[in-house]
Amino acid sequence: EVWHLMPVFDAVGAGIDGINWLDLVKQEGRPQRSFVNLSPVLLKAVVSAAKKRQVAEPVLLTNWLLHDVSLDEVNPADLAFVIKALDQIGQSETAKAVAQEVVKAHLMQRLAEKVPNGPQS
């Protein structure tokens, strides 16, 4: 399941309405996955620069934030802030591309977890 990606889906306007969240909580039996949180100071700087309608600064700060982390390891709520900031400065296509890359990274990680290691030599 990829319910932990809901903040990313919401950031690009692909939220899911009409879901009984209480039922999902009851069905969720496995422990939650832990994520790496992005630097709160850099994240706040991205959001602040986007609110000021600056373009280059949020893009450069986003690059700095994400340059050395795997997208499947980053807290989706933090990524949602970045995606919303990019959208806010008129970089909607870039925001959608980031969201797609996040989803791809999570799906690839899930697939890797399910695939056996192959023949042992």
The alpha carbon dihedral of 70, 91, 46, 4 has a sign of: negative
User: What is the pLDDT at residue 55?
Assistant: 93
Q: pTM for the full model?
A: 0.75
* Beta partners for residue 46, in sequence order: none
| pLDDT computed for residue 17 by the predictor | 62
- pLDDT at 116 (0 to 100): 75
Contact criterion met (CB below 8 Å) for 24 and 3 = yes
Cα torsion 116, 32, 36, 96: sign: positive
Beta bridge partners of 74: 36
Q: In this predicted structure, what is the pLDDT of residue 46?
A: 96
How does DSSP classify residue 32?
A: P
In tens, the pLDDT along 29-80 reads 555 678 899 999 999 999 999 999 999 999 999 999 999 999 999 999 999 9
80-110: pLDDT as tens digits: 999 999 999 999 999 999 999 998 998 888 8
